[in-house]
Structure 1
Amino acid sequence: TQADLRDGTTVLVFYPFAFSPVCVDQLAVYNEVLEDFTAEGVTLYAVSCDATWSQQAFKAQLNVDIEQLSDFEPKGRASAALGVLHPGGFCERALMVFGPDATLRWSYVGDTPDDLPGANLIFDALAA
């Protein structure tokens, strides 16, 4: 919710599909540096159009601490509102940084679902 965004800097990490190879790699990389984000007062949320139960199984299997948000019902509504819903009905691979005032400060949308944006993109955006 918008109130959640007001607790500090928030990064929404949109990913296409739970359990897909690139999504596995992306969340694993971000989880490795999650403490660095937390130390800077940044909260990461991973978002997909997968059902909540699928996301929770994905999170458990990967053993990651990044909170999962489901944009499943109504399917893709939040992703569409933010301009990152693929015509195929899944999230584009995208990153969005929101400031403590809930204003979008920076965003990235991958050219293809296979793009793997490194954590350095987020750290650079936070430093800008």
Structure 2
Amino acid sequence: MSLLGQPAPDFTLPSSVGDPVTLSSYRGQKHVVLVFYPLDFSPVCSMQLPEYSGRQDDFADAGAVILGVNRDSVHAHRAWAAEYGIEVPLLADMTLTVARLYGVAIDERGISARAVFLIDKEGVVRFEHVEKATGDYTVRPEVVLNQIKAL
């Protein structure tokens, strides 16, 4: 199920950085990069999210925000962010409801796939990539930044 060219499913989730985050609150203001990842403290995720976080100034310059999403709790997110220097909001999708809306829930494992969605300022999905295996990490920040610049 591709969401490309479709309105992004809206949601509100608890965040590691304070108040809950509602996707539609960015509409008309910022592009949103949704980074779904399987688990806090796992090896590949502990490369991916710090790498995206480290490029957040480049994303901000391109008019975008980065939001990490997985099934871990806000408490786990905060501990992981503190340990790995992750500054982007990490959203707690503990029931995988949002992962299901985006077609990336792996229900039998209780996690989401590793996936990246670029949602433009109008709230439309303009880029999506779901990794074939949860251990794969092929869509680096540069790829997404180039997609934003092409909008």
Scaled to the shorter chain, the TM-score interval is over 0.9
Structure with more helix by fraction: 1
Q: Spell out, residue by residue over 1:18-67, the C-alpha distance to the aligned partner (whole angstroms, 9 max, x if none).
A: 00010000012112211111111100000001111111111111112111
Task: Tell me the residue number matched to 1:13.
Answer: 35
Query: Gaps (5+ residues) in structure 1?
Result: none
Query: Gaps (5+ residues) in structure 2?
Result: 1-21
Q: Secondary structure at the match of 1:44?
A: strand
User: TM-score with structure 1 length normalisation?
Assistant: 0.92
State yes or no: 1:84 paired with 2:80: no
CA contact (8 A) 1:5 1:99 kept: no
State yes or no: 1:102 paired with 2:113: no
Aligned-pair identity in percent equals 27
Runs of 4+ in 1 over 6 A off after TM superposition: none
**RMSD (Å) for aligned C-alpha atoms:** 1.2
Task: Tell me the residue number matched to 1:58.
Answer: 80
Task: Tell me the residue number matched to 1:41.
Answer: 63
Task: Tell me the residue number matched to 2:7.
Answer: none
Number of residues paired by the alignment? 126
1:115 maps to which of 127, 132, 136: 136
CA contact (8 A) 2:62 2:148 kept: no
Task: Tell me the residue number matched to 1:32.
Answer: 54
Q: Spell out, residue by residue over 1:59-114, the C-alpha distance to the aligned partner (whole angstroms, 9 max, x if none).
A: 11111211111101xx1001101101013120100000111111111101001011
